[in-house]
Structure 1
Amino acid sequence: MTDHLLNLHGDVLAAMRRGPKPFAKLAFVLSDTDEPTDTALGHFHDRIAAAGPGDELTALWHRTLTSWDLAEQADWSTAPPRTDARRTDTFNRLGFGADLRKVLDHAVPVFKEPGATVISREFTSWYSRDMAAARSFYWNSYEQLLRRKGWSDAAVSSLDEASHAVVERLSDPTRTEAYGARGLVVGYVQSGKTANFTGVTAKAIDAGYRLVIVLGGTLNLLRGQTQRRLDMELIGRDNILRGADPSDADALIGIDYQDDEDWPAKFVSHGGRPSTFGSFDIERLTTRDDDYKSLSNGIRALEFEKQIRTQPLHDPANLHHAAARVMVVKKNKSVLDKLIKDLKKIGPILSEIPTLIIDDESDQASVNTTDPKKWEGGKVDRKAINGQICQLLGLLPRAQYVGYTATPFANVFVDPGDEEDIFPKDFLISLPRPTGYMGVQDFHDLDSEGTAEETHVRGVYADSGDRLQEALDSFVLTGALKLYRADRGVPEGPFRHHTMLVHESVRMAEHAELALRINTMWHQSAYTGQEGHARLAALLDADFGRYADEELPTPASYTELKPYVSRARQLINSGGQPVIIVNGDTERDYEQPDLDFDRTPHVWKILVGGTKLSRGFTVEGLTVTYYRRRTQQADTLMQMGRWFGFRPGYRDLVRLYIGREEPLGKKKTVDLYEAFEAICRDEETFRTQLTRYATLVDGKPQVTPAQIPPLVSQHLSWLKPAARNKMFNAELVEIRSPGQWVEPTAYPTGAAELRQNTEIWRPALEALSQDIAVFVTLADDDRGGFTRYPAKTAVLSHAQLLGIMSSLAWGRPDLFAPHLAYLRDASEAGCATEDWTLILPQTSGPTSFAASIVGSQPITLVQRQRNARGVFNRISGVAHRQSAERIAGIRPLSDDDPFASQLHRPRRGAVLLYPVVDPDLGNPARLVTGRSIDPAKVVLAAAFIPAASAAGKSVPYVRFRAVDSSRRGEATIEVP
């Protein structure tokens, strides 16, 4: 039966390509009936209100409203995207009444998750939404494939917006004069960066880019994964077959993917060769198994046909008829040499080819490094891969370079003055954390007393056994639970592969020993006997049953699960070996059929490896990780977080066994879990800073990418953001932080420095109120009630606090110096705070106690743990911050918090002061002699929030300088 209402709405919405318009008028014009408009809208209201799952009309409006909600380029609305105001503007323009708005809002809630953050220099707009819609052959195919794969409307629209933001900042491919943009896209580890650059590639090819070079990692293992994704989701089976009949076996000889389980059903189809539909084909210059090779017909393969030979290729008359060429190549010297050699044979036409270079994992191998000792002599040699990338950019003057990484620090430290290099001078885009992504927040309770660690993390302590047997049991048990869920309707897709990753070392000899140990442990685990079943039953009861997702099928007892344990054991032990070693010196070492997630129907194995499993390569079905590898570089450590990613149907089963006391050099230990938390804080701080700067001021960028490098923080002194030979350009001078928390954590450990600091704070301690009956009342948003705590307070002038902060000894003076520079800045754009409320919380509990310090009144001391390098991860309590934020003017005043409201003044900041005792010093109560405590045993730690900007508008938060080789005499770049 024809769905007339759906057809009408489809026609009406198709006419609204540029944004919402009066729905009734268009419906009247396009309708083939004489039904009154209000009656038609009534039918629409009733249909949406009664719609069940799968209703196509609701789905149509879900896609449309979501795309309008998220649209960044919305000439029809001044309301910001992802807000109720944007949705209201949409309904106003459609002319919908209150009742219809209500049912649509219920059916399609406003998607308010943050979008991509863009830092960009000013650019010439050329890639409008109209143009994107007019030339969208490959993007439309890709979008439809994503929807068939189950992507939500919000996910598709978010990808559309983020990829559009990249393409519009590339150079217009039809532009007369050549220009090569340089950009960087920052995602999260294993969060879908490939999906974004596939979308960018689709849109760029549609717009006119005719040569796409994807630098796909340093191993064929990674290159092959990327090639397959592009072939499956963008290039499609029609371009792969090149017109061959898919039913003719002889015609298919030599065609890839004949042994691929997903071929051809899951490969996108364009319905025939695109050129037969008036579009253009894509020719592959690499295949799944073959990297770029010197072509006997290299010149022909890379020559571009022209409709009008007297005009350059980038002329629209030629460009939109020419086939595109796509290649996925390793970042390998010999491979890139072959490519460069072939390109040089082509000659002058190179200057006419709009080219897109996508650099996956762009902080690996691509960044120029050299021996730091040579810098001192002024000698900087360009390394091999970096030099070859620069050659490509030089040979192809119309080449646009876009790097992709989850660890951007090495890229933003590239010398911005080196015009030949890959510094992202034009744009830096930070992608949002995707819905359904399992990342930092799922393993670390960064700012609250959450349950992430309790649910997913199992610490491995040197003094309590290595827990490897427990991790192995968890792997078997979670495999059984996946099979149990698959039998009860949870889609099988997420459970096709089931893997465990064991990562302890980079040494291949140690991998072999570890694999032998795990194999031996496996065969002695008695998974078919009473002992093994008893262990698994206990683990189910104590762990997996306790933390199971209530919305997913979970057995009530081990007896119910037991049949699936046998099947899981068989799958893991297929071939007689449960373990795969993933390492080697050559490509051949990685060509293991059991490791091929694409061609092997089920990979249920334990992977033992090192560096090769820690970057770029996706370990499908990863559920249990046993991780004890040490490193002193934050980006390297973050890339090892293979446990981050999408875990549909089994995120509650994910377990991380991680070293908590691992050796690091002589007499040093490292807490790997703590280290991950620290670099996650570094990353979030960086993203937060980018977000602050992304808002345009008077239509212009606050900062350009060249002013970004020093926004990289470092929470652990021994864990560098990147290798030293990638960081020599950055020097942070000042962080401006009106209305933003500043929490120094690197305090001295020496007795003399601690006593000195206490003396410096003495006048402030003496100024504290005697009244401990004054309570600060805080709204607790999570529980809907209130938390009350007593506090002693004082008001200090800005000069007093500045004098204290300037005189203190610090464990890492360089980390606090940029904040101190801001406090000292008396200019109009500087610190606007005139005085400060000092708050000293008087906490209570079994670990709290009071004591006098340097003759002060008794005050409550708190305990905070230092890490292995003497740095605190956190000082202030989350509950204490809300009143301080009211005082500083960034939270509304409240009758529920009268004390803070009374203390609020314009241009007044707030300081939370904590007398901190490290519990490692012993029982805190024993440190008190009489009623006093030795100041050498106490750290007076402060967190402060300067007054919010009185002007009420956005101002830059940092001032810094970065070494720039083009300005050697000045060596500074400053934010005005």
Structure 2
Amino acid sequence: MNDPLRQLDQMVSVLVANDQNRTGESIRERIEQTRAIPIFEDVSDEQCEQLARELEERIGISMGFGAVVTSKDFKPWLEDAKANELFEPYYWDRYKKLLQDKRLPGDVITSTDEVTDRILGRMGNPRDEKAWDRKGMVVGHVQSGKTANYTGLVCKAADAGYRLIVVIAGIHNNLRNQTQARIDEGFIGRDTGRLEQRDTRDKPKIIGVGRYDARKAPVSLTTTLRDFNKATATTNTSQISSYAVPVVLVIKKNYRTLSNLIDWLKEHSAREGTEMVDQPMLLIDDEADNASINIQYGRNEISRINGQIRDLLGMFQRSCYVGYTATPFANIFIDPDTDEDVENEDLFPRHFIIGLDAPSNYFGARKVFIDGLPDEEAERPQYLRFIEDNGDLLPVKHKIDHPITELPESMKEALRAFLIARALRNARGQKAQHASMLVNASRFTGIQNTLKLRLYEILKVYENALRVNGSRSDAIAASPEIAELQETWKAEYSSVSTWDEVLANLLGAAASAQVIAVNSSSPGSLDYENAGDTGLTVIAVGGFSLSRGLTLEGLTVSYFLRNSMMYDTLMQMGRWFGYRTNYEDLCRIWMPEEAASWYAHIAEATDELLRELKRMEQTNATPEEFGLAVRSHPSALMVTARNKMGSGEKHLFVGLSNNFIETTKLGNDEGIRRRNREAQTRLFEGLRRIGKEQNSAEEVPGGYLLRHVPVELVDSFLREFDNVRESILTDTRPVREYIRKRSADELAEWELLVVTTSQSPEPVQEIDGWQIKPVRRRIGGSSLEENGLLAISDKKARLASRGVERAGLSDHQREKAEQDYRASSEGKAKSNFPDRIYREVRKRPLLILFNIRITDDGLTEKQAALLPTEPVVGWGISFPPSANADKKVEYILNTTKLQEMFGDPDDDEETEFEDD
């Protein structure tokens, strides 16, 4: 943005902010009025319209204040410090000006100010001279602005009196360097890389907040070029001895770095007395679920990095640990055997847990994997495209020496989509902005580098075709490559652009694109900072380095082909989440359908966790109570393997009150299928004996409903049903035990929904006297071939369709649930109702019976040959809230089997053969 346009933006933004009724028309009037000033005479009509659209989006963006769960011993101190003028917001005011200059919406800046006050106020008071330690956790969303939040917290902590601030920023150099650059810009105000390189006679390069006021610049013992080094730190001892200004370090989460820092602190403390350990210290642990938690097998063993963080904190009389994460399951799920373990775990956030709300323009998991999925099976998802052709070319599971002779057509299609999207962004005036494509298809560095070469070769083919034939009137006929590009445009972007608009900008997009590998063999290859006036166009190929923390600027197209079902690993691989101002409609994500279904499942679980945090805030619950609630949630099953419990059995206590469970994994063994059909037959026979059959059932959306079904029939069906052990939550032993304990009152009578739907293309079948149209579902081909499992992969890995839990509710119950949801802050912007709102008002449990036709969609010929020819029986249960909700169900798990099912976390950890 040129200077006159930036000035116009700033002036109009102030005027619009003061307008009570802001509309698109009023914004444009303000622009025209201000544009009359002579300095804006060179601002074009097109630039003014682009500015109007940006302001329309910006003023509509809001952000909530999140939720806070605090320990009982919390004593407020921040308001008193402000009232007594012991808190001068010097560093925060500089940072706030920076956020305003970056044109963040005013509501977002206000919310950030409020939330960082909440966090700071629950940390230790740095002016309290008595010994104290505080531990807390901040839960955000992947790529939602956690770094911006903790940069603001660092500024306020320094204003309050914290003198030593340590930021642990991931386990890779590129992430540490990126975080250091953010701290340089938002807190230090100087380019630390230039400070290290410059001659002592040169002036330091002032950046970011330093442009507003360069006094009181914090001392940094790390730079964008170098992690912590004992020798370098020792040369700065004289600078930090008085702590007249804050001292900050941004270090890698690495045992050598932590060991050096601890040794240096001990040595410095021994020489200089105890001044250093007496200073109040703040430790911010970014990506706190990664490497920080104790993952050793034994109850009293401590993993190396976890122990070092404890040692570092233990060196200070006054210290505060704040872990930031988007995937807190592993942090909270410490050890489910006893309640005491939560309290005794040293890094458990026992003093506070704070949930951050994402701004309303956040492009997150819900928007992509839940709201962006179609209701009708025939429609395509808005952003997702499914990879079905990787096969032998690039299997999800492959060895380190797997040959890459050719790329899957889907990867080429994704590349073409990226070039077109970049062309359209250029046409929209975004040429100065960065645009990135992510390719995360292997954890092996060698294969990543080979993929980089193959993508580069294909990119050059398209560039040459556009250079030679792009300007010809018969370009499509003259060049098969340009014809391919047009077909991709038709499939992806014809509704938002014309082909002429795309073609006019395609050569520039292709010529400027570069393919880079982001891994240990290509250090420093991703450099947005020194791109110049024209934004980078980058195709970034990598593995774990692209999977956690690293921000790809302007990420538009992603190609994701990885095999992990761990909650934290999957969500952190979601680099495509974030903010996509004026190009969200161009974003596309290629991944296997099975992976997409897991993301949908995780998005629901994460949303539920944050809702639980807000509920517990209202009831003044403590972090320990929240931790117990999370551990008893079914999602805890997914992080059991993360804790590496070792072989043998693990006992896990899960709450089924107000929960929904269903058989999303079914056995393909003919004996299992037959036994489950027989269980259904006997259930229907039992219903006939008590006068309940199809002609006495109500026709409701989704099937036939029977009321007042005795619990004995349900229990018999579950007893006879052959559940595969991979379907953990539907293990009938603990489920039946839960039902038995409530069978005399809460669960004595049931409602039964026999699913049949007019939308199913299946013909009506007579099944044990019932006229039923089986539902059609797709499955994951790899699970079928490798494990003999029918693992449902479509419909968000769900058997049930949306709205199924309405069955059996009265009109009054349903309308009341929907009205309450619409009145909530969550429901105002939503077009659909989540099933949980119906479950919360349910008085009787609902058993849902499915007859499922497994389709061969997306399967290979070999896999399709393994499919059953008859419908497969499955079930789901919607449990209403229980008066005994605190009574948990005990699941006994084989932890070795869990690791087989959900993947070993080591698959994504560093080895000498893998990316760094």
**Structure 2 residue ranges without an equivalent (≥5):** 1-13, 32-55, 336-340, 392-407, 470-474, 784-788, 820-837, 858-867, 893-916
- Counterpart CA distance in 2 for 1:390 and 1:702 is 19
Map Cα deviations across residues 609-659 of structure 1 (whole Å, 9 max, x no partner): 221221111111221222223335342232222222211121111122224
The residue that corresponds to 2:530 in the other structure is 599
Mapping for residues 773-784 of structure 1, pairs under 5 Å: 774-776=698-700
Mapping for residues 569-608 of structure 1, pairs under 5 Å: 569-572=510-513, 578-584=514-520, 589-592=522-525, 595-601=526-532, 602-608=535-541
The residue that corresponds to 2:368 in the other structure is 443
The residue that corresponds to 1:567 in the other structure is 508
Distance 1:473 1:48, change over 3 A: closer
Structure 1 counterpart of 2:590, from 642, 657, 665: 657
Map Cα deviations across residues 197-220 of structure 1 (whole Å, 9 max, x no partner): 112222222222221100012233
- Counterpart CA distance in 1 for 2:67 and 2:507 is 48
The residue that corresponds to 2:225 in the other structure is 289
Whether contact under 8 Å (1:292, 1:335) holds in the other structure is yes
- Counterpart CA distance in 2 for 1:773 and 1:333 is 65
Is 1:626 paired with 2:550?
no
- Counterpart CA distance in 1 for 2:109 and 2:141 is 18
- Counterpart CA distance in 2 for 1:959 and 1:111 is 41
The residue that corresponds to 1:536 in the other structure is 485
Structure 2 counterpart of 1:680, from 595, 603, 606: 603
The residue that corresponds to 2:777 in the other structure is 864
Map Cα deviations across residues 495-540 of structure 1 (whole Å, 9 max, x no partner): 5212222222122221222222222222223232231333323322
- How far residue 475 of structure 1 moved from its aligned partner, in angstroms, is 2.0
Structure 1 counterpart of 2:453, from 485, 502, 516: 516
The residue that corresponds to 2:66 in the other structure is 116
- Counterpart CA distance in 1 for 2:143 and 2:632 is 23
Map Cα deviations across residues 855-895 of structure 1 (whole Å, 9 max, x no partner): 44434432333443433321222233334454895653999
Whether contact under 8 Å (2:372, 2:381) holds in the other structure is no
Map Cα deviations across residues 219-250 of structure 1 (whole Å, 9 max, x no partner): 332112111112212233599999xxxxxx98
The residue that corresponds to 1:941 in the other structure is 875
Mapping for residues 478-877 of structure 1, pairs under 5 Å: 478-486=421-429, 495-525=432-462, 526-528=465-467, 529=469, 530=475, 531=479, 532-546=481-495, 548=496, 554=497, 556=498, 558-572=499-513, 578-584=514-520, 589-592=522-525, 595-601=526-532, 602-660=535-593, 671-696=594-619, 699-701=620-622, 704-708=625-629, 710-711=631-632, 713=634, 723-725=642-644, 731-738=651-658, 740-749=659-668, 750-759=672-681, 761-762=683-684, 765-766=687-688, 767-771=691-695, 774-776=698-700, 791-798=704-711, 800-802=713-715, 804-805=717-718, 808-812=721-725, 814-816=728-730, 822-826=738-742, 832-845=746-759, 847-853=761-767, 855-867=768-780, 868=783, 869-872=789-792, 873-877=797-801
The residue that corresponds to 1:253 in the other structure is 202
Whether contact under 8 Å (1:765, 1:856) holds in the other structure is no
Is 1:454 paired with 2:381?
yes
Q: Percent identity?
A: 27
- Counterpart CA distance in 1 for 2:326 and 2:579 is 15
- How far residue 409 of structure 1 moved from its aligned partner, in angstroms, is 2.7
- How far residue 192 of structure 1 moved from its aligned partner, in angstroms, is 1.0
Whether contact under 8 Å (2:682, 2:717) holds in the other structure is yes
Whether contact under 8 Å (2:63, 2:107) holds in the other structure is no
* Corresponding letter in the other structure for 2:529: D
- Counterpart CA distance in 1 for 2:191 and 2:606 is 42
TM-score (norm 1): 0.69
Distance 1:789 1:626, change over 3 A: closer
Structure 2 counterpart of 1:367, from 293, 299, 302: 293
Whether contact under 8 Å (1:888, 1:909) holds in the other structure is no
Distance 1:884 1:679, change over 3 A: same
SS in 2 for 1:357: strand
Distance 1:147 1:298, change over 3 A: closer
- Counterpart CA distance in 2 for 1:238 and 1:520 is 37
Distance 1:809 1:890, change over 3 A: farther
Whether contact under 8 Å (1:186, 1:406) holds in the other structure is yes
- Counterpart CA distance in 1 for 2:510 and 2:420 is 9
Whether contact under 8 Å (2:177, 2:225) holds in the other structure is yes
Distance 1:857 1:523, change over 3 A: closer
The residue that corresponds to 2:119 in the other structure is 166
The residue that corresponds to 1:303 in the other structure is 241
Mapping for residues 419-438 of structure 1, pairs under 5 Å: 419=344, 421-438=346-363
The residue that corresponds to 1:395 in the other structure is 315
- Counterpart CA distance in 2 for 1:179 and 1:644 is 38
Is 1:126 paired with 2:40?
no
Distance 1:137 1:804, change over 3 A: farther
The residue that corresponds to 1:34 in the other structure is none
- Counterpart CA distance in 2 for 1:917 and 1:153 is 51
Mapping for residues 153-302 of structure 1, pairs under 5 Å: 153-237=106-190, 253=202, 255=204, 258=205, 264=207, 266-274=208-216, 282-294=218-230, 295-297=233-235, 299-302=237-240
Structure 2 counterpart of 1:918, from 849, 853, 864: 853
- Counterpart CA distance in 1 for 2:617 and 2:512 is 49
- Counterpart CA distance in 1 for 2:677 and 2:703 is 27
- How far residue 358 of structure 1 moved from its aligned partner, in angstroms, is 0.3
Whether contact under 8 Å (2:423, 2:502) holds in the other structure is yes
The residue that corresponds to 1:779 in the other structure is none
- How far residue 359 of structure 1 moved from its aligned partner, in angstroms, is 0.7
Whether contact under 8 Å (1:888, 1:904) holds in the other structure is no
**Which ranges of 4 or more aligned residues in structure 1 deviate by more than 6 Å?**
43-51, 53-56, 106-113, 238-242, 249-252, 726-730, 903-907, 960-963
- Counterpart CA distance in 1 for 2:757 and 2:518 is 52
Is 1:151 paired with 2:78?
no
* Corresponding letter in the other structure for 1:140: D
- Counterpart CA distance in 1 for 2:842 and 2:455 is 62
Is 1:383 paired with 2:314?
no
Distance 1:498 1:272, change over 3 A: closer
Larger Rg: 1
SS in 2 for 1:326: strand
Whether contact under 8 Å (2:364, 2:578) holds in the other structure is yes
Map Cα deviations across residues 369-412 of structure 1 (whole Å, 9 max, x no partner): 33x4xx4xx7x543332222111011114211111122223322
- Counterpart CA distance in 2 for 1:935 and 1:843 is 20
Whether contact under 8 Å (2:774, 2:851) holds in the other structure is yes
Whether contact under 8 Å (1:497, 1:604) holds in the other structure is yes
* Corresponding letter in the other structure for 1:356: L
- Counterpart CA distance in 1 for 2:483 and 2:842 is 65
- Counterpart CA distance in 1 for 2:716 and 2:247 is 64
